[in-house]
Homo-oligomer: A and B are copies of this chain.
């Protein structure tokens, strides 16, 4: 047994011919005076497994009860290098259990597990060399444009009437599925596992709520002891016509209550967000194209915000699948410079209709290497970024007292003009104001006083003044986000710092504390 690695107890018993989803088997693990009870599962061929994720090193005692009785103890060795435990939300960012920061740079291969072995191999090989550290993928197969293939195997056996029998999970499916998950996680990639989605011709999206919970129970028994998995209750929960909001609340509660470890949990929308202030929701997983609102969401949720779909690099005849590589890269920078995270996807239509976004294969686009460049920059920062307060529009949303305090910084005639700004912005209708922000926005974030990042996006500033702290020194770099160059403009800037810039789009300015 080793800290942060899945530990498995295996027993042989009678073969089951029906109703093996929810067997009466559990085990209590006691370590350092604390106990955790986990449920076991039937793995076919008379094999009964109990899985446990040790989160601390030291002696662990276990007792199995139910269909089987057993007990024992193990020494849990300290984590080996490279194992950090589960990723958890820490304030508005992410970190592994051992404290190592985790900055998600995700992609999507929604139907990865439902492709034939050759395509899965190719996809895993691509993931091995690409620079993504999170992948969104579904438990169930996908039926949608460019996604009509039958999967090799399904999650359940069928009843005599042809309907799915959730009481009999298909062992071959789950074995294959786990192998894929393990191979992805072994590359240091987190799996944002999508438990339900609407694009379905087989009926998996139309289970009764009772069936949903049987399925989830088995899934949690098998998978929860893996540290590299996040629970994404759905992709586009709001397009799952067979589920009510109450069903989703029930699903959310069931997963949270039956997950012994507190994996990350979110629920992804098409249009209306799932409320990320709900206690069981660990972070916001948002589909949106309105990136200028990210600081407001971070402020409201006080949890990490991941933009899990802001359109994909590609050439499809759909809005969601036809942004350029430049735009994909810019959206990553906008998210990062707003204190949030972004997810890539790629939808180039080829003759074989193997689009990375859902089926995998090879990446064809030009954004991944630029996203990797950004990831390097972010991972070298002294800490996670949070949105910089500021902007007139944000100021207008403050109380009178807060506005007065903020305006103490403003000098001379600008103080009066700033008051007029605030007065007028407060009179704007919400949609006019939001649209205004969407069209003119400062993408700026900071890591305390250690680092400041401005993504100038489409602004072609010939000059820029950085309001750096007076009492600290900063190295200031100009970053070309497309050409992937970094140029040091200043080695020891302090206070108000005027930069001469080339007046082009696609530049970022990074100030990092030195000395």
Asked if B310 and A439 make an inter-chain contact with CB atoms under 8 angstroms apart, the answer reads yes
Asked if B459 and A272 make an inter-chain contact with CB atoms under 8 angstroms apart, the answer reads no
Q: How far is the CA of A421 from the CA of B272 in the complex (A)?
A: 9
Contacts of A69 in B (CB 8 A): none
Contacts of A421 in B (CB 8 A): 239, 270-271
Q: How far is the CA of A416 from the CA of B416 in the complex (A)?
A: 54
Asked if B270 and A424 make an inter-chain contact with CB atoms under 8 angstroms apart, the answer reads yes
Query: Which residues of A, 431-484, contact B by the 8 Å Cβ criterion?
Result: 431-440, 442, 458-465
Q: How far is the CB of A505 from chain B (nearest CB, A)?
A: 5
Instruction: From B311, B349, B461, give the contact of A317 (CB < 8 A).
Output: B461
Q: How far is the CA of A239 from the CA of B440 in the complex (A)?
A: 18
Asked if A440 and B317 make an inter-chain contact with CB atoms under 8 angstroms apart, the answer reads no
Asked if B442 and A439 make an inter-chain contact with CB atoms under 8 angstroms apart, the answer reads no
Residue interface mask A282-322, B partner, CB < 8 A = 1? 00000011111100100000000000001100111101101
Contacts of A270 in B (CB 8 A): 420-421, 424
Q: Does A503 contact B (CB under 8 A)?
A: yes
Contacts of A258 in B (CB 8 A): none
Q: How far is the CA of A358 from the CA of B92 in the complex (A)?
A: 44
Contacts of A458 in B (CB 8 A): 323-324, 327
Contacts of A271 in B (CB 8 A): 421, 424-425, 427-428, 433, 436
Asked if A288 and B417 make an inter-chain contact with CB atoms under 8 angstroms apart, the answer reads no
Interface residues of A (CB under 8 A from B): 198, 238-239, 241, 269-273, 288-293, 296, 310-311, 314-317, 319-320, 322-324, 326-327, 349, 416-417, 419-421, 423-425, 427-428, 430-440, 442, 458-465, 503-505
Asked if A459 meets B289 with Cβ closer than 8 Å, knowing A420-B239, A421-B239, the reply is: no
Q: How far is the CA of A238 from the CA of B420 in the complex (A)?
A: 7
Asked if A435 and B434 make an inter-chain contact with CB atoms under 8 angstroms apart, the answer reads yes
Q: How far is the CA of A273 from the CA of B429 in the complex (A)?
A: 9
Q: How far is the CA of A462 from the CA of B293 in the complex (A)?
A: 30
Q: How far is the CA of A326 from the CA of B317 in the complex (A)?
A: 23
Q: How far is the CB of A318 from chain B (nearest CB, A)?
A: 8
Asked if A315 and B431 make an inter-chain contact with CB atoms under 8 angstroms apart, the answer reads no
Contacts of A316 in B (CB 8 A): 461-463
Contacts of A503 in B (CB 8 A): 315, 322
Q: List 9 A-B contacts (CB under 8 A).
A: A290-B435, A290-B436, A315-B462, A316-B463, A317-B461, A324-B458, A324-B505, A326-B505, A327-B505
Asked if A460 and B289 make an inter-chain contact with CB atoms under 8 angstroms apart, the answer reads no
Asked if A424 meets B460 with Cβ closer than 8 Å, knowing A431-B293, A431-B434, the reply is: no
Contacts of A442 in B (CB 8 A): 319
Instruction: From B269, B315, B431, give the contact of A460 (CB < 8 A).
Output: B315
Asked if B434 and A323 make an inter-chain contact with CB atoms under 8 angstroms apart, the answer reads no
Asked if B323 and A459 make an inter-chain contact with CB atoms under 8 angstroms apart, the answer reads yes
Contacts of A428 in B (CB 8 A): 271-273
Q: Which 8 A-B pairs have the closest CB atoms?
A: A290-B435, A289-B439, A438-B438, A315-B462, A315-B503, A238-B424, A434-B434, A271-B424
- 8 further A-B contacts with Cβ under 8 Å, apart from A288-B439, A290-B438, A291-B439, are A238-B420, A241-B417, A273-B432, A291-B435, A293-B432, A317-B463, A317-B464, A431-B433
Asked if A420 and B460 make an inter-chain contact with CB atoms under 8 angstroms apart, the answer reads no
Query: Which residue of B has the minimal Cβ distance to A505?
Result: B324
Contacts of A437 in B (CB 8 A): 435
Q: How far is the CB of A34 from chain B (nearest CB, A)?
A: 41
Asked if A461 and B427 make an inter-chain contact with CB atoms under 8 angstroms apart, the answer reads no
Asked if B460 and A314 make an inter-chain contact with CB atoms under 8 angstroms apart, the answer reads yes
Query: Which residue of B has the minimal Cβ distance to A498?
Result: B317
Asked if A434 and B425 make an inter-chain contact with CB atoms under 8 angstroms apart, the answer reads no
Q: How far is the CB of A312 from chain B (nearest CB, A)?
A: 11
Q: How far is the CA of A497 from the CA of B2 in the complex (A)?
A: 62
Q: How far is the CB of A270 from chain B (nearest CB, A)?
A: 6
Q: How far is the CA of A462 from the CA of B145 in the complex (A)?
A: 15
Contacts of A314 in B (CB 8 A): 460
Query: Which residue of B has the minimal Cβ distance to A314?
Result: B460
Q: How far is the CA of A318 from the CA of B161 in the complex (A)?
A: 68
Contacts of A425 in B (CB 8 A): 271-272
Contacts of A431 in B (CB 8 A): 293, 296, 430-431, 433-434
Query: Which residue of B has the minimal Cβ distance to A502?
Result: B315
